[in-house]
Chain A
Amino acid sequence: MTDQSRGQPVFVICGKGGVGKTVFTALFLKTLLEEDLKPLLLIDADPAGGLVYALDERATKTLTEVRDELVNAARSAGETEKESLARSLDYMLMEALVERTGYSLLAMGRDKKVGCYCPANTLLRDAINSVSDAFAAVVIDAEAGLEQINRRVTRNATHTIVITDGSLRILATLESITGMVNKGQIFVVQNMTDGQTAAGVPEGTVFAGSIPADNELREFDRAGRSLRELPAENATVLAMKDIAARIIGWETIDA
């Protein structure tokens, strides 16, 4: 979804539904900010929009709404209005951007309309590319399943992070993902597991570590508190520090 022309890292977090992508993304954001990798652009590409809640944020406008406004405006636009419409897209995108210290968030939102809007999606992707230039890195919490990877929404990922719960079904999904991603490095993270094990992780991927099950995190989640507020000594936060170090430093270690 973002441009790689200036070597900006693009982290895409994917996996099957319910494995903990959103929790991982929130913890990953916390660690990246603490490591001073900022400003960060977060894209909540999951229509369920869980990341917004995991960070206790509210998106006043979603990318889907921006696209729909664009489609409506394009219906009646004459030739001379197209330049104005192109500018309007940047305005609407800025409206959709939730800006915080160190990071900004764009939420994809749920698609309620039927129909193909490929040119609108392309325009939107271009606009997001231009927004992303202002950031040190981009983190995308992808939709559950493989659709966005298959449609190359995440085609410019430099780091694809697949979250698993270690089940056989998910390992099969992982193999599908490795077949679809042709750029960057693929990392595997086990979520809510008791021990670290790289067993079953496909060849060509890097096992980045495990996030333990944690009651404090569950309590935060239930209470709707931002996971960014988890204390530094929390087990999941500590685990994430190691995982992030492996992911961010991979190229250096590999070299």
Chain B
Amino acid sequence: MKPSVRPEVSKGNQAVSGEWPLWEVFVRSKAGLDHKHCGSLHAPDAKAAIQLARDVYTRRQEGTSIWVVKSDQITASDPGDKDMYFDPMADKVYRHPTFYELPESVNHM
């Protein structure tokens, strides 16, 4: 199956309507943590997207850093492939440390 563009939004008719393009916003909530997807917004360019993201998504100090990326630049896995992609890991319990029962004296390993 072909990868679907952006997990959430189909491309719509931006080109036709002259709408500002859609951007995905990722915010690092504090130093040391990952940037996390928090939503999307329309903006004419990257600089404006960052500024608007500041106003829309961090009005209460929710972030220390923002990434924006144009929504149509994201390639996502197809939800229809979910089972095929992710189920094979369901029976591989030996990938987890808890699978191994060690003698009590070394079990903190």
A and B found bound together: no
| Residues of A that sit less than 8 Å from B by CB | none
| Residues of B that sit less than 8 Å from A by CB | none
